[in-house]
Structure 1
Amino acid sequence: MSTPYIQRLFSLASCRYFWVAVALAMLALEGGALYFQHVEKFYPCELCIYVRVWVALIFLVSVIALWIRKWLWGRIAASLTGLVLSLGLAMETWGLIKVEYGIGNGGACGYKANFPDWAPLDSWLPAVFEVQDLCQATPLVLGPISMTHGLVLVSIGLVLAMSVALMGCVRRVAE
């Protein structure tokens, strides 16, 4: 027997506000990155560009989820895809942590992103996806919190939220 709060938590994937919140958070991350790039002149490295791709994909999934959330299998697909993409974001964030703290070969990145030939994002949208610097520590964005630390918090939150949303969908299938 679960409380109404737990039931509500497990119904995240069907909640329009959940997907809107994810979409707005991803827009805020992209907007913040572009602000730091174009206004503050902190140019993105290869890892930063890959983070932007993960964030853009999570945004797209959240927008699609707004339309398919009414169907159980749509919620499952959106939650599962969101979880996989959030894990991808977390893995890329780990790369930034390695750069930030000099762990292993943390500073190894180039001046060109390795996009596939069928999706040269750096050619299509160079203002957003073009590498302009080598990897280094990210700037502070809120007091002592750097972009990397903020991404760690966002990644953990997304992985947890998408996991709970997916568990709620799976519970519905099992019922």
Structure 2
Amino acid sequence: MLRKLKLFSFHRGAWLLLAAGVLVLELTALGFQYYLDQKPCVLCVYQRAALAGLLLAALVGAIAPKTPLRLVAIIGWLVAAEKTFTLAWEQTQLQLHPPLFATCDFFPRFPQWLPLNHWFPAIFTPTGNCMDKGWELLSMTMAQWLVGISAGLFLIGLLVLVVQMPCPRKNKG
């Protein structure tokens, strides 16, 4: 089973499948924003940026899956999934246990060398409040769903990383 997972990571299709899944998440967020009028908060925008990092990692893996570039992509996958999880967890905590006076930022603080909110304002400009629950499915908010999804993506990425390690050879004799 683990050998099959390792071989799967050598195929471009596996990386494109990961990229397609992340793209569906990004497009779903935009659909909620523009068709269901769900206003994204600054944490939502950061989660979108982290997912964009995961999309980028998947595309890097798809470029040359049979080379060491695959390992760079797996590390990028893990970093982006962990960041997405952390941000979704933070937003979930704000929604479940709202502080009395604190609020989230109104403007994103991207690095000067990567001002995503200026380059892609339709995607990375927050207009909502982090504590608004908005949409729910099965009594879970979008942030709660993303906690589970990003945790799953991280665990799968960790398993893919582990199976990249060479197997010790059995001694016969």
> What TM bracket, shorter-length normalisation?
0.7 to 0.9
Partners of 1:82 and 1:106 lie apart in 2 by: 35
Partners of 2:7 and 2:159 lie apart in 1 by: 9
The structural deviation recorded for 1:171 is 2.7
Partners of 1:18 and 1:56 lie apart in 2 by: 18
* Paired AA for residue 39 in structure 2: Y
- Please state if 1:25 is matched with 2:46: no
Q: What is the aligned partner in structure 2 of residue 153 from structure 1?
A: 148
Partners of 1:106 and 1:99 lie apart in 2 by: 12
Q: What is the aligned partner in structure 2 of residue 127 from structure 1?
A: 122
- Please state if 1:74 is matched with 2:79: no
CA RMSD of aligned residues (A): 2.1
Partners of 1:116 and 1:123 lie apart in 2 by: 11
The structural deviation recorded for 1:55 is 0.5
Normalized against structure 1, the TM-score is what? 0.86
* Paired AA for residue 6 in structure 1: L
2:60–2:69: 8 Å Cα contact kept in structure 1? no
Partners of 1:171 and 1:35 lie apart in 2 by: 43
Structure 1 residue ranges without an equivalent (≥5): none
Structure 2 residue ranges without an equivalent (≥5): none
Q: Which runs of 4+ in 1 moved over 4 A?
A: 103-107
Q: Which moved more, 1:154-163 or 1:15-24?
A: 15-24
Partners of 2:133 and 2:16 lie apart in 1 by: 28
The structure that is helix-richer by fraction is 1
The structural deviation recorded for 1:107 is 5.5
* Paired AA for residue 19 in structure 2: A
Q: Which moved more, 1:80-89 or 1:9-18?
A: 9-18
- Aligned positions of 1:1-175 closer than 5 A: 5-71=1-67, 73-102=68-97, 108-140=103-135, 142-171=137-166
The structural deviation recorded for 1:131 is 1.1
